[in-house]
Amino acid sequence: MLALLDAWFVAPFDYGFMRRAVVGGLALSLAAPPLGVFLVLRGMSLIGDAMAHAILPGVALGFLLAGFSLPVMSAGGVLFGVMVALLAGAVSKMGGQREDAAMASFFIISLAAGVLLISMGGSSVDLTHVLFGSILAINSTALLLIASISTLIVIILAIIFRALVVECLDPLFLRGQSRRSSWVHSVFLGLLVLNLTAGFQTLGTLMAVGLMMLPATAARFWSKRLEGLIGIAVVLAMIASTGGLLISFHLDTPSGPSIILLAGVGYLLSALFGRYHSLAAKLRRKTTPLALEQSS
């Protein structure tokens, strides 16, 4: 029994690349889910997806210029992500079109450009690598980059936290209170782009959104408080990233989809058995007696 546990859960980490991958995954699991929680609460769940497509041409360009170098590819990704976000914002301001419509137009252009760039300079193997990620490729430089970006995201999120909460709840109030209120949204989109570029190495550009959104949507079934949502989402993401890596190691599946599918299983289980709004909660329909509520 012990030997089996050892073979399943401990032995994989004898390999250096697995150790680096799991540390990278845990770092991402700290940074990504809080962003996802805010996206879900603002009804912007699909913006993450759009941004993930938007960074692809930048990543591809970096790949063409410097080969498989994570810092260069990440820099390209951040550059393109921020550019698309700014362009979408500008178009929506200028033409009265809603921001999501402009974003949808730009991200699909980006995706096409990205795929074209990659296929110009490399093989289909490279394309799969960028789109779906690979744990084998995480070296120390990559790990350092992922950890630094995740730390930066957590720190900046802590700084803008109150402003972000107030902006989500009542943008009109924040506008009256602070001249810098429009920054909050931009900084938040910037964090999103940063997080996606950090995630594409392990998860791939398209899958990186999964670690952000799935734990956040699953957490909605477990908590009604903001702190609860963020905490639960982070724990779910950590379980999914570690478990997914182990599955990918043992079953020889690509790491990105394994991690995201495990997070997906977490989401489905939450939807079935969660505390609030889940199928089980609907069937239970238990309420607190009035007397008990008043005494508490």
Closest to 244 in 3D by CA, of 194, 210, 205, 193: 210
Query: Which of residues 159, 268, 269, 280 is near another protein by CB under 8 A?
Result: 159
Least Å distance, CB 169 to another protein, is: 5
Pick one of 168, 247, 265, 271: the residue that binds another protein (CB under 8 A): 168
DSSP string for residues in 88-103: HHHHHHHH---HHHHH
Alpha carbon of 218 to those of 19, 214, 222, 262: distances in Å?
A: 27, 6, 7, 12
Query: Site for another protein (CB under 8 A): how many residues?
Result: 28
Q: In whole angstroms, how far apart are CA 259 and each of 38, 53, 171?
A: 22, 19, 35
Can residue 83 be called a binding residue for another protein (CB under 8 A)?
no
Under the criterion CB under 8 A, does residue 171 sit at the interface with another protein? yes
| Residues within window 176-195 making contact with another protein, judged by CB under 8 A | 176-179
Query: Among residues 7, 65, 169, 279, which is the contact residue for another protein, using CB under 8 A?
Result: 169
Encoded one letter per residue, x for contact with another protein by CB under 8 A and - for no contact, window 37-66 reads ----xx------------------------
- Tell me how many degrees the CA angle 270-272-242 measures, rounded to the nearest 5: 35
8 A C-beta contact, residue 90 and residue 231: no
Indicate the burial class of 217 (C-beta count within 10 angstroms; 0-12, 13-18, 19 or more): buried
CB 85, min distance to another protein, A: 22
According to CB under 8 A, which residues from 127 to 156 bind another protein?
A: 155
- Interface stretch with another protein, choices 104-112, 159-167, 196-204, 262-270 (CB under 8 A): 159-167
- Residue 98 contacts another protein per CB under 8 A: no
CA 136 to CA 202: how far, in whole Å? 9
**CB 168 → another protein: shortest distance, Å?**
6
Positive or negative, the Cα torsion across 9, 11, 12, 15? positive
Query: Which residue's structure tokens are 């008043």?
Result: 294
Site string for another protein, 259-278 (x = CB under 8 A): --------------------
Q: How far is the CB of 172 from another protein (least distance, A)?
A: 4
Contact between 173 and another protein by CB under 8 A: the answer reads: yes
Given the structure tokens 């043992």, which residue do they identify?
Answer: 250
Place of tokens 């058995």: 273
Is 34 in contact with 158 (CB distance < 8 Å)? Answer: no
Residues 193-252 that bind another protein (CB under 8 A): 223-226, 229
**Positions that interact with another protein (CB under 8 A):** 41-42, 155, 158-163, 165-166, 168-174, 176-179, 223-226, 229, 294
